[in-house]
């Protein structure tokens, strides 16, 4: 390109023809049309329709697939699609993929195959689940949205050639900015601090009454709202409930200081809500939250319509303080922690059914409503396979197999979340007494597939059990 520029100028000065700069396809370097008068050379015009990159819909919900297309690119040419975004903490996350345009100069991420980059093959949403911290960011990051009322903003660009975005000078051919939202327009977020309950309620738009979900996360603690926000965007009222590691809950730290009566109150709160249909309430939980889901569903005296458990134990992995489910410090008993050769901890064996005292286990045989159990077969955070086996066997013996649905995903890790968010195979667990990384498992593509498929099945399961 540069050489052509020099040649054109030389010829230009020689014969004094006025040039008209034409379309800047590549940033600052104009390509000159050469009208050479008698000196015959006919050069092919470099005027082309400038590349166009579109994403549809450009504002989508986090669990919506979008269609990314590039057009008016050079035919049969290598291009790179590059996505970047900043997390709430200011970390840069990015992904990229290499494609070849077709003979019309187009690409369509819904049908074309990536030949390299953060993912390969036909992956319409690969740019999103393939996001990873850019080189130079802090170690062990997890992507978590604290403020679910604002979207993630992801800038996607088309770059010339098959390149790594880090490779110095890049030429941006076209760009589009997308937003990904956890909440639908008209959806309401209500902080709940009453009767000792610490949670956030999400209500769908509309008059109600709505079916509802009680939503529980794991021992990472705090109050994670994103799944509830998405459930409400799909028409289910949903209460994210904190039970551990939250400043508004009673102390001491690292123990679960609330028991069965707390969860019962939360369930009744939903039942009594004027915009919730009290006969259509389900419970869902991941990791330790999955055990709590079983406990709530079976032994505390409430009757949910359905339960969804993801990668969690069948009983409390922490020593119980009392009958109501309160536990001791989760980290006080580390005998089942295992470490890999890089000093990263896996909690998998902690929840092996054989490591859990019998009295700590939920009596699954007393199940009275449909239960879905979701397994990531590469789960290094919990013994999900063994737990699922035990549950399946227990229910079969009790003649209740018809209540049990098992979803099992090879290559998927511990955090099976709503789709298109990246999975982190490991993350920073603690910094005191020294930095400790925990390993959760899951390989990018199969984990992403598991999230996509399981979410669809979760929504269908809720549709059948809470809406019919």
Partner 1 sequence: MDRNQTCVKLSVEPSRALMDEKILVLVQNGSPGSQLTIHALHRCEDGHHWEAFAHYTTDATGTVNVSQDPSLGGTYSGVEPMGLLWSLRPVPGSKPGLRMRKKDVQIPMEVRISVYRGHWTEGFLDRTPLAGVVVERWYVAPGVQRIPVTENSLTATLFLPPGSGPFPAIIDLYGGGGQLIEYRAALLASRGFAALALDYLTPKVTKETGKVVKNDYFEKAYQFLQNHPQVLGHRIAMLGLSFGTTITLKMAAYSEVIKLSCAVCIGGSHVQPVDGSVEEGLQFIHRNVAKAHFSERNEVITKDLFLPLTTDPSLRVDMGRIRCPLLLIVGEDDQSWPAYESAAHIKLMMERAGNDHLLTVLSYPDAGHLIEPPYLPHFRSSFYKSVGIAQKFMALWGGQTVEHCRAQEDSWRKLLLFLREHLYGRSTSVLRSHL
Nearer to partner 1, 235 or 444 (CB): 235
Residue 69's contacts (CB-CB under 8 Å, 6 or more residues apart) are: 53, 54, 55, 56, 106, 107, 108, 109
Whole-angstrom CA distances from 311 to 59, 288, 293, 369 are 31, 8, 12, 19
Residues between 64 and 103 with contacts to partner 1, criterion CB under 8 A: 64, 72
Active site residue 322: no
Active site residue 248: no
Which among 195, 150, 180, 104 has a CA at the least distance from the CA of 419? 180
Nearer to partner 1, 156 or 382 (CB): 156
Please report which helix (H) or strand (E) contains residue 290, including its range: helix 288-299
- Measure the CA–CA gap between 124 and 129, rounded to whole angstroms: 10
Residue from 52, 321, 449, 459 binding partner 1 (CB under 8 A): 52
Residue from 62, 107, 163, 176 binding partner 1 (CB under 8 A): 176
Give me the torsion for CA of 424, 425, 431, 433, rounded to 10°: 160
Nearer to partner 1, 20 or 432 (CB): 20
**Segment interacting with partner 1, rule: CB under 8 A, options 112-120, 176-184, 240-248, 376-384:** 176-184
Nearest-approach distance from CB 192 to partner 1, in angstroms: 22
# chain residues binding partner 1, by CB under 8 A: 60
Q: What is the per-residue DSSP string for 332-378?
A: S--TT-EE-TTS-EE-GGGG-GGGS-GGGB--GGG--S-EEEEEETT
Which phi and psi angles does 276 have, rounded to 5°? Answer: -120, 140
- Measure the CA–CA gap between 401 and 13, rounded to whole angstroms: 86
Category of 140 on φ-ψ map: left (φ > 0), alpha (ψ -120 to 50) or beta: left
Nearest-approach distance from CB 141 to partner 1, in angstroms: 24
Quick check: 178 and 154 in contact, CB under 8 A? Answer: yes
**Segment interacting with partner 1, rule: CB under 8 A, options 55-63, 295-303, 377-385, 440-448:** 55-63
| Catalytic-labelled residue, pool 233, 238, 287, 318 | 287
| Catalytic-labelled residue, pool 238, 316, 379, 447 | 379
Quick check: 79 and 99 in contact, CB under 8 A? Answer: yes
Nearest-approach distance from CB 35 to partner 1, in angstroms: 5
**Segment interacting with partner 1, rule: CB under 8 A, options 178-186, 288-296, 331-339, 424-432:** 178-186
- Measure the CA–CA gap between 455 and 231, rounded to whole angstroms: 10
Nearest-approach distance from CB 48 to partner 1, in angstroms: 5
What radius of gyration do the chain's Cα atoms show? 27
Quick check: 229 and 203 in contact, CB under 8 A? Answer: no
x/- binding map, residues 203-222, to partner 1, per CB under 8 A? --xxxxxxx-----------
Which residues are bridge partners to 84 per DSSP?
Answer: 94, 155
Residues between 142 and 171 with contacts to partner 1, criterion CB under 8 A: 153, 155, 157
Nearest-approach distance from CB 127 to partner 1, in angstroms: 15
Residue from 10, 42, 335, 432 binding partner 1 (CB under 8 A): 42
x/- binding map, residues 13-32, to partner 1, per CB under 8 A? ----x--xxxxx--x-----
| Catalytic-labelled residue, pool 98, 226, 273, 414 | 414
Nearest-approach distance from CB 174 to partner 1, in angstroms: 7
Beta 52-56 vs 92-100: how paired, if at all?
unpaired
Which residues are bridge partners to 100 per DSSP?
Answer: 78
Active site residue 414: yes
Q: Is 58 in the site for partner 1 (CB under 8 A)?
A: yes
Nearer to partner 1, 380 or 466 (CB): 466
- Measure the CA–CA gap between 439 and 89, rounded to whole angstroms: 22
Beta 107-108 vs 92-100: how paired, if at all?
unpaired
Q: Is 9 in the site for partner 1 (CB under 8 A)?
A: no
Q: Is 60 in the site for partner 1 (CB under 8 A)?
A: yes
Give the other-Cβ count within 10 Å of 296's Cβ.
26
Residue from 184, 403, 445, 459 binding partner 1 (CB under 8 A): 184
Q: Is 179 in the site for partner 1 (CB under 8 A)?
A: yes
Contacts with partner 1 by CB under 8 A lie at 17, 20-24, 27, 33-38, 40, 42-45, 47-50, 52, 56-61, 64, 72, 153, 155, 157, 172, 174-179, 181, 184-186, 205-211, 233, 235, 277-280, 467-468
**Residues assigned a catalytic role:** 287, 379, 414
């Amino acid at each position: 390109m540069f050489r052509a520029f020099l040649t054109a100028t030389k010829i230009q000065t020689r014969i004094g023809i006025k040039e008209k700069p034409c379309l800047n396809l590549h940033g600052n370097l104009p390509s000159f049309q050469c009208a050479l008068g008698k000196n015959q050379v006919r050069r092919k015009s470099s005027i082309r329709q400038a590349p166009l990159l579109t994403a549809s819909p450009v504002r989508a919900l986090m669990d919506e697939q979008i269609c990314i297309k590039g057009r008016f690119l050079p035919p049969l040419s290598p291009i790179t699609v590059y996505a970047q975004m900043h997390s709430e903490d200011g970390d840069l996350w990015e992904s990229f993929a290499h494609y070849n345009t077709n003979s019309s100069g187009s690409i369509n991420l819904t049908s074309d195959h990536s030949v390299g980059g953060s993912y390969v093959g036909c992956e319409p949403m690969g740019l999103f689940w393939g996001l990873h911290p850019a080189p130079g960011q802090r170690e062990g990051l997890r992507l978590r949205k604290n403020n679910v009322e604002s979207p993630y903003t992801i800038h996607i660009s088309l770059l010339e050639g098959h390149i790594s975005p880090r490779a110095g000078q890049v030429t941006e051919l076209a760009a589009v900015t997308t937003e990904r939202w956890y909440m639908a327009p008209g959806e309401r977020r209500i902080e709940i601090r009453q009767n000792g309950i610490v949670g956030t309620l999400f209500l769908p738009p509309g008059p109600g009454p709505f079916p509802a979900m009680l939503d529980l996360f794991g021992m990472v603690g705090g109050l994670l709202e994103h799944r509830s926000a998405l459930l409400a965007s799909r028409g289910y009222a949903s209460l994210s409930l904190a039970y551990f590691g939250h400043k508004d809950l009673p102390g001491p730290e690292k123990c679960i200081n609330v028991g069965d009566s707390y969860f019962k109150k939360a369930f009744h709160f939903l039942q009594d809500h004027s915009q919730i249909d009290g006969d259509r309430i389900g419970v869902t939980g991941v990791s330790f939250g999955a055990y709590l889901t079983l406990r709530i569903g079976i032994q505390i005296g409430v009757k949910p319509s359905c339960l969804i458990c993801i990668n969690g134990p069948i009983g409390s992995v922490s020593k119980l303080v009392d009958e109501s489910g309160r536990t001791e410090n989760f980290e006080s008993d580390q005998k089942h922690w295992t470490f890999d050769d890089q000093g990263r901890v896996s909690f998998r064996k902690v929840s092996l059914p054989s490591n859990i005292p019998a009295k700590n286990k939920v009596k699954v045989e007393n199940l009275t409503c449909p239960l879905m159990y979701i397994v990531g077969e590469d789960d290094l955070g919990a013994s999900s396979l063994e737990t699922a086996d035990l549950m399946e066997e227990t229910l079969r013996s009790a003649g209740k197999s018809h209540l049990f649905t098992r979803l099992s995903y090879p290559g998927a890790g511990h955090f099976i979340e709503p789709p298109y968010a990246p999975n982190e195979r490991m993350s920073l667990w603690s910094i005191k007494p020294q930095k400790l990384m925990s390993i959760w498992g899951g390989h990018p593509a199969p984990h992403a597939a598991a999230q996509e498929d399981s979410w669809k099945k979760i929504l269908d399961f809720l549709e059948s059990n809470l809406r019919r």
